[in-house]
Amino acid sequence: MKTRTLGKDGPASSVVGLGCMGMSDFYGPADPSESMATIKLAIDSGINLLDTGDFYGMGHNELLLSEALKGVARDRYLLSVKFGAQRDPSGAWHGYDARPAAIKTSLAYSLKRLKTDYIDIYRPARLDPNVPIEDTIGAIADMVKAGYVKHIGLSEVGSDTIKRASAVHPICDLQIEYSLLSRGMEQSVLNTCRELGISITAYGVLSRGLFDPNWGTTPITIGDFRGYSPRFQGENLQKNLASLEAIKKLAKEKNASVPQIAIAWVLGKGSDIVPLIGSRRVTTLTDSLKALEINLNPQEIKWLDEAFPEGIAAGTRYAAPMMSHLDSEKG
Alpha-carbon gap, residue 143 to 119, rounded angstroms: 10
- Write the DSSP assignment of 40-69 as a string of letters: HHHHHTT--EEEEETTTTTTHHHHHHHHHT
Q: Which residues have a catalytic role annotated?
A: 56
Query: Integer distance in angstroms from the first to the last C-alpha of the chain?
Result: 33
**Alpha helix ranges (H) inside 45-155:** 60-68, 100-114, 133-145
| Amino acid sitting at position 146 | A
Alpha-carbon gap, residue 313 to 292, rounded angstroms: 26
CA 206 to chain centre: 11
Burial class of residue 241 (count of CB atoms within 10 Å of its CB; 0-12, 13-18, 19+): middle
